[in-house]
């Protein structure tokens, strides 16, 4: 199970990678949405979920998600939006985020989200091979 971490703060990326690796997940990380799109488009195997920061230079979370949804190959990868905002702004609802994880990150909530979406990915994969 692989998780792509997209955040412009290197310390947050590193913290999330250590936490996820400790819980048995593989990780990849990039610093902004443009790097995430490039990573996804070049990857032969897509991650099971994406942890996406909202506010980043070069390409933020909203622009990334709009571009992701336009690409049929990567559109279905679930995205959990990480944001300092207590609630998602209404304009993000058409972007179909799988979930919202407020910052500072509650690591138990993160673990529950990761388990849920990675389990769903495992079930989709096993259904596709049958």
For residue 69, the domain's CATH number is 3.40.50.2300
Q: Please give the pLDDT value at position 117.
A: 82
What is the domain extent for residue 51? 2-128
pLDDT for 126? 57
Q: What pLDDT sits at residue 8?
A: 96
Identify which of 34, 17, 35 has the alpha carbon closest to the alpha carbon of residue 26: 17
Its pTM stands at: 0.87
- Looking at residue 91, what is its pLDDT? 55
Of 85, 76, 9, the closest CA to residue 49 belongs to 76
Please state the domain count of the chain.
Answer: 1
Cβ neighbourhood burial of 125 (10 Å; 0-12, 13-18, 19+): exposed
> Per-10-residue mean pLDDT for the chain, 130 residues long?
95 96 96 98 95 92 94 95 71 73 91 84 56
């Amino acid at each position: 199970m692989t998780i792509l971490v997209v955040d412009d703060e290197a310390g947050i990326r590193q913290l999330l990678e250590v936490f996820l690796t400790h819980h048995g997940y593989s990780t990849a990380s990039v610093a902004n949405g443009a790097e995430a799109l490039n990573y996804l488009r070049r990857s032969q195997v897509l991650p099971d979920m994406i942890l996406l920061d909202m506010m980043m230079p070069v390409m933020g979370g909203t622009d990334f998600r709009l571009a992701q949804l336009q690409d049929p190959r990567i559109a279905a990868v679930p995205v959990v939006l990480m944001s300092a905002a207590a609630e998602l702004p209404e304009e993000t609802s058409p972007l179909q985020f799988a979930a919202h994880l407020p910052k500072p990150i509650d690591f138990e909530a993160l673990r529950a989200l990761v388990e849920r979406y990675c389990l769903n990915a495992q079930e989709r994969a096993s259904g596709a091979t049958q």
